[in-house]
């Protein structure tokens, strides 16, 4: 009983000391208390994570319903890891060669043209199809356009253009008179939301692999006939710097995610080498 009484007294003394320390940190001046109560709570900065490459396709985290976010971002790389709604902001992809039998609405994409701040200016203010002396405008006879300081300032990638290693230039990809459009082999315009139709002109093997689901990224329903969001070329690749600077190859490398942790008690993952169904 004596030990219990001693412990009780000690606990009471500790609690009293903690209360005194806590109370000392609290404002006692009524004016300060009122000011603290009236001060608005600071809003938390919205969490933005990227999907294909940083600066190209980004998504802001929000709650679809309490406790159910539209996306989960990696704390390591800020990449999108999981989607509460994989079809948010998407539209039908449209017709694709050799995918004519794809059911309507089976493939959707997220439009990027609305995110391209200079796109509206390209087709109206600067390149409206009317040249200074001719209509259509007179174009250079070679693939070395005259440097335009204003253009280089707005779009630095145009100064040291890497794509094609000097074999192509702007109007091999951009429409001659509709600069807010891309162009196919027949001179017809292509929407910026369907860059795969342009990229496939030269990269047919990649287009085939992308079409077959080998190359690129898709999310959604992977059951037979399920609806999926398809990521288009420019969501992962910067078309103006495909050699990626000093690396001079591929596209910008992404920081890898940490490897998944094995369950407790499991020494390795050799079981993954064995097919679950005997053949």
Q: Each residue of 56-91: pLDDT tens digit?
A: 788 899 999 898 999 998 888 888 988 999 998 899
Q: Using CB atoms within 10 A of its CB, is residue 31 exposed (0-12), middle (13-18) or buried (19+)?
A: exposed
What average pLDDT does this structure show over 108-120? 80
Q: Exposure pattern of 169-181 as b/e (b: 16+ CB <10 Å)?
A: bbeebbbbbbbbb
103 within a domain of the structure (yes/no): yes
Residue 22 pLDDT level (bands cut at 50, 70, 90) = very low
- The Cα–Cα gap between 223 and 213 comes to 14
- Which of 169, 188, 172, 181 minimizes the C-alpha distance to 122? 181
Higher pLDDT, 136 or 85: 85
198 in the same domain as 135: yes
Last residue of a domain, one of 85, 113, 140: 85
Same-domain check for residues 159 and 62: no
Span 17-44, average pLDDT: 56
Domain boundary among 35, 58, 85: 85
Percent pLDDT > 70 in the chain is 71
Q: Which two tokens stand for residue 14?
A: 């500790």
Q: Is residue 13 part of a domain?
A: no
Q: pLDDT grade, residue 123 (50/70/90)?
A: low
Q: d(Cα 139, Cα 39) in Å, to the nearest integer?
A: 62
Pair (71, 131) in one structural domain: no
Residue 210 lies in a domain: yes
- Cα 229 to chain centroid distance, Å, stands at 13
Task: Let me know the angle formed at the C-alpha of 175 by 173 and 180, rounded to the nearest 5 degrees.
Answer: 100
Q: Are residue 77 and residue 187 in the same domain, yes or no?
A: no
Which carries the bigger pLDDT value, residue 212 or residue 10? 212
CA–CA distances in Å: residue 145 to residues 141, 149, 158, 161, 169:
9, 12, 11, 11, 8
Q: Which range among 167-181, 243-257, 262-276 shows the weakest confidence by mean pLDDT?
A: 243-257
CA–CA dist 61, 48 (Å, integer): 6
Which residues, including other chains, have CB under 8 Å from residue 260's CB and lie 6 or more apart? none
Residue 252 lies in a domain: no
pLDDT bracket for residue 120 (50, 70, 90) = low
Q: Is residue 165 part of a domain?
A: yes
Task: Please tell me the predicted confidence (pLDDT) of residue 39.
Answer: 58
Tell me what pLDDT residue 115 has: 73
Mean pLDDT of the chain: 77
Q: How far is CA 241 from CA 146, 222, 249, 267, in A?
A: 19, 33, 9, 43
- Please tell me the total count of domains within the chain: 2
- CA 205 centroid distance within chain: 24
* pLDDT surpasses 70 at 138: no
Burial class (CB in 10 A: 0-12, 13-18, 19+), 207: buried
The mean per-residue pLDDT over the stretch 213-237 comes to 89
Residue 32 above 70 pLDDT?
A: no
Cα separation, 197 vs 145, in Å, equals 25
Do 128 and 72 sit in the same domain of this protein?
no
Q: What is the mean pLDDT of residues 116-139?
A: 63
Structural domain boundaries, residue 67 = 46-85
Let me know whether 81 and 107 are in one domain.
no
């Amino acid at each position: 009983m004596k030990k219990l009484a001693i412990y009780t007294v000690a606990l009471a003394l500790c609690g009293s000391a903690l209360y005194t320390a806590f109370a000392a940190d609290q404002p006692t001046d009524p004016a300060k208390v009122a000011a603290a109560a009236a001060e608005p709570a600071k809003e938390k900065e919205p969490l933005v994570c990227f999907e294909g490459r940083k600066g190209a396709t980004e998504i802001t985290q929000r709650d679809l319903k309490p406790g159910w976010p539209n996306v989960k971002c990696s704390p390591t790389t800020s990449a999108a890891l999981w989607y509460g709604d994989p079809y948010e902001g998407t539209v039908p992809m449209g017709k694709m060669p050799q995918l004519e039998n794809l059911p309507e609405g089976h493939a959707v994409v997220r439009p990027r043209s609305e995110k391209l701040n200079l796109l509206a200016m390209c087709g109206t203010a600067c390149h409206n199809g009317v040249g200074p002396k001719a209509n259509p405008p007179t174009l250079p006879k070679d693939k070395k356009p005259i440097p335009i300081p204003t253009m280089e300032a707005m779009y630095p990638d145009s100064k040291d253009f890497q794509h094609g290693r000097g074999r192509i230039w702007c109007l091999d990809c951009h429409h001659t008179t509709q600069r807010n459009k891309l162009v196919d082999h027949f001179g017809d315009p292509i929407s910026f939301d369907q860059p795969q139709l342009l990229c496939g002109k030269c990269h047919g093997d990649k287009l085939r692999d992308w079409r077959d689901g080998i190359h690129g990224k898709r999310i959604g329903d992977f059951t037979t006939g399920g609806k999926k969001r398809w990521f288009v070329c420019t969501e992962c690749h910067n078309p103006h710097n495909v050699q990626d600077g000093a690396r001079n190859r591929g596209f910008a490398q992404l920081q890898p995610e940490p490897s998944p942790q094995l369950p407790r008690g499991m020494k390795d993952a050799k079981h993954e080498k064995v097919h679950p169904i005997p053949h």
